A and B are shown apart, each in its own frame.
Chain A
Amino acid sequence: MSANRWLSTGNYFTSYKEEQRIFATHLDRSVLLCFLAVLFAWPLLFEVSNKQMFVIDNIMIAMIAVVGLNLVTGFAGLISIGHAAFVGIGAYTIASFARLLGDTHMVLTHGWPALIVLAGFMGALFGAIAGLPAFRLKHLYLAIATLSFQMIFQWTINFMDFFDQGQTISVGRVFWVTGRVGRSDHYLFWYYVILVIIVLVGFGVRNLLRTKYGRCLVAVRDNDRAADAMGMHPGLTKVYAFALAGFLAGVAGALHAYLYRGVGIESFTLHHSINYLAMAIVGGLGTLSGSFWGPLAIKVLDMQVERLSEWTGGHLAVATNLATALKPLSFGLIIVLFLMFEPRGIANWWRIVRSYVKLWPFRY
């Protein structure tokens, strides 16, 4: 790490090893550690209602899923219009245990950490299967392949008796070392679980991206023939990208199942796939921090639109439900506007702010 941030005029790397570091300076690392400490501590210091916690949990689950989507779409350059299906695979892994063993069985309530990992592997397996056409096809066709995977998934759930035709399958409350996690602690408990998983995922992906396996994703995105010439197997890399994305989606799905204490098909439709894509775009494709900004931005926008339409609904006599109209409208506009004017997403703003703060009081 550079000697003293306040004296040096910049980060001058003298070796590749230095350049590949996660934290360029001690300050960077301390800031992140402080931030994580705040994330862990704040629910204990402030009074948070269950409703607010639920929203936060939701955003964080979406972050995990979007990190996965960003790996496949942002880093490997393969459009996936079926990400909600992979999230659904994770959730339905939990649901199938609930159907087979009963929703309050020991395996489900005590073995949930193992089940979450298992759900991730199921997601990875199906991700790899859906990515199989990648051996022959390029992105355009792959987008259609993932779309059809989404449709097949929806149909399978909708018409299978085992999954109750897509109606909600309930999942029991889990146990922690202190005993059964009750109603009042439910959302707080899952906040911590999800937070730990996000931290693990964040570090995992950040580290992955500086290894051979992460960089080959970017290489295949930028030029698959050149990557082939460098000794990577583009087809395998793409399938592997899908499997990685599927893993994270599966984990997100399992968390979703436990958080909602139930699994229903209405949370894993094509509409949700598009939602995840929008989050990845708005956050910034091909950036890790974007995967955290995107879900936050979209969910906050969603809530604001809902509030606005409630407000106008109270003041104007309108027959139609404004929220159903304004939500897709604002959502579509935001995707299109971001693509037209800020294709690098919020992550780019974050980068600008950061470099401004870093260089202050100098301009450059």
Chain B
Amino acid sequence: MSYFFQLVISGVVVGSIYALSALGFVLIYKSSRVLNIAHGQIIAAGAFITYGLTVWANLPIYLSFVLSMILTFFLAMSVERIFLRRLIGEPIISVIMVTIGLMSILDGLIYLTPFGTENFSFPPFLPVTPIAFFGVSISWTQLVGVIVTFTLIAGFSWFFKKSTVGISMRAVSDDQLASMSIGISVPRVFGLAWAMAGLSAAAAGGIIGNITGLNFDTLHAFGIVVFPVVILGGLDSILGAVVAGIIMGLIQQFASGYLDGNWGLNGTGEVLPYIILLIILLFKPHGLFGIHEIERV
């Protein structure tokens, strides 16, 4: 039974990181209908900036975590300004392609740094001994990671519910024309959505980096695995991203905990999300919380 609870805990940990990664993705999709395929690279960039500030600039890790969130905020904002601003109104296919090109560019830039090929890990700053109760253990980094994640998600939800900027962002995602008519600058909101996505991506990157260590392949894989999460949650729902993130984390952990090694199966945790994705696309394409706006063709 404790094995079960151990899986639940690691599922929630992984799932909350998925939720945070998916959050940024959903933000961009919700406001500008762009599928950001380069999200994993932004997560990786955030993680590497955090590491650089902590280890090379010798800043305290809390400060560098916040600083990297701010830096990635501006990085993502400039990405939107340089590459995507001029594509507003272009067919959706070119916009997706641009994010694919962006993914390659960021890949190339990261490979120019040592982070592309080597592995790094953050200096430990929390107690190393895991907390154990009832035969289940959770490490301090995981615990702090989950707490930070949920604080951030709560912060984002508050931002969208209450703040003026958040409300204007929601307005743009509902109706661009109407929001323009009441004086909201739609391109600015797009930029802001990218910036917020960058911010949440940097946070996700920092947390992943602390839990699993810094490896470029692991980090940018999060950009692909958010797809099953956001589809399950319904592409444009923040609540959906959070719930689906946790569900996906649990499914992955249970799959690799119970299925691997039996019946000749291996690595099921990696593939199950995509199988679920295909099934959802076939039968319930708007996901759990998405708006029923998909037209039949």
**Quick check: A151 and B224 within 8 Å, CB to CB?**
yes
**Quick check: A320 and B107 within 8 Å, CB to CB?**
no
Bound CA–CA A23/B9 (angstroms): 67
Smallest CB–CB gap between B229 and chain A, Å?
11
Say which one of A133-141, A184-192, A288-296 lies at the interface with B: A133-141
**Quick check: A320 and B102 within 8 Å, CB to CB?**
no
Residues of B within 8 A of A133 (CB): 278, 281-282, 285
Smallest CB–CB gap between B96 and chain A, Å?
6
Q: Of residues A139, A148, A274, A324, which shows the largest number of chain B Cβ atoms within 10 Å of its Cβ?
A: A148
Residues of A within 8 A of B271 (CB): 151-152, 155-156
Bound CA–CA A134/B294 (angstroms): 12
**Quick check: B104 and A148 within 8 Å, CB to CB?**
no
Bound CA–CA A278/B112 (angstroms): 22
Residues of A within 8 A of B37 (CB): 81
**Which of B112, B231, B275 sits near A152, CB closer than 8 Å?**
B275
User: Is B103 located at the chain interface by the 8 A CB criterion?
Assistant: yes
- A152-B275, A328-B104 known; 4 new pairs, CB 8 Å cut-off, are A73-B93, A140-B33, A143-B96, A155-B270
**Which of B35, B97, B105, B281 sits near A339, CB closer than 8 Å?**
B97
Bound CA–CA A145/B285 (angstroms): 11
User: Is B130 located at the chain interface by the 8 A CB criterion?
Assistant: no
**Quick check: A331 and B104 within 8 Å, CB to CB?**
yes
**Quick check: A141 and B294 within 8 Å, CB to CB?**
yes
**Quick check: B108 and A321 within 8 Å, CB to CB?**
no
Bound CA–CA A77/B94 (angstroms): 11
Residues of chain A in range 143-177 having any CB-CB distance to chain B below 8 Å:
143-145, 147-149, 151-152, 155-156, 158-159, 161
User: Is B228 located at the chain interface by the 8 A CB criterion?
Assistant: yes
User: Is A333 located at the chain interface by the 8 A CB criterion?
Assistant: yes
User: Is B188 located at the chain interface by the 8 A CB criterion?
Assistant: no
User: Is B88 located at the chain interface by the 8 A CB criterion?
Assistant: no
Q: List 23 A-B contacts (CB under 8 A).
A: A132-B282, A133-B282, A138-B295, A139-B93, A140-B35, A141-B281, A151-B224, A151-B271, A152-B275, A155-B270, A235-B297, A274-B103, A277-B97, A320-B116, A320-B117, A324-B116, A325-B111, A329-B104, A332-B103, A335-B100, A336-B83, A339-B98, A340-B87
Residues of B within 8 A of A77 (CB): 93
Residues of chain B in range 217-232 having any CB-CB distance to chain A below 8 Å:
224, 227-228, 231
* Secondary structure of the A contact surface, majority rule: helix
User: Is A343 located at the chain interface by the 8 A CB criterion?
Assistant: yes
Residues of A within 8 A of B277 (CB): 144-145, 148
**Quick check: B267 and A319 within 8 Å, CB to CB?**
no
User: Is A197 located at the chain interface by the 8 A CB criterion?
Assistant: no
State the interface size on chain A (CB cutoff 8 A).
Answer: 57
Bound CA–CA A138/B294 (angstroms): 8
Bound CA–CA A336/B107 (angstroms): 14
**Quick check: B105 and A333 within 8 Å, CB to CB?**
yes
Chain B residues packing against A (C-beta within 8 Å): 33, 35, 37, 83, 86-87, 90, 92-94, 96-98, 100-109, 111-114, 116-117, 224, 227-228, 231, 264-267, 270-271, 274-275, 277-278, 281-282, 285, 294-297
**Quick check: A328 and B94 within 8 Å, CB to CB?**
no
**Quick check: B104 and A332 within 8 Å, CB to CB?**
yes
User: Is A234 located at the chain interface by the 8 A CB criterion?
Assistant: yes
Residues of B within 8 A of A119 (CB): none
Q: Of residues B83, B100, B224, B267, which shows the largest number of chain A Cβ atoms within 10 Å of its Cβ?
A: B100
User: Is A205 located at the chain interface by the 8 A CB criterion?
Assistant: no
Smallest CB–CB gap between B280 and chain A, Å?
10
Bound CA–CA A240/B249 (angstroms): 36
Bound CA–CA A270/B114 (angstroms): 23
Residues of B within 8 A of A135 (CB): 297
**CB nearest to A338 among chain B residues:** B101
Smallest CB–CB gap between B180 and chain A, Å?
23
Bound CA–CA A330/B228 (angstroms): 30
Residues of chain A in range 63-81 having any CB-CB distance to chain B below 8 Å:
73, 77, 79, 81
Residues of B within 8 A of A254 (CB): none
Smallest CB–CB gap between A28 and chain B, Å?
31
Residues of A within 8 A of B102 (CB): 332, 336
Residues of B within 8 A of A278 (CB): 100-101, 104
**Which of B33, B98, B111 sits near A336, CB closer than 8 Å?**
B98
**Which of A141, A159, A285, A334 sits near B266, CB closer than 8 Å?**
A159
Bound CA–CA A129/B101 (angstroms): 28
Smallest CB–CB gap between B81 and chain A, Å?
13
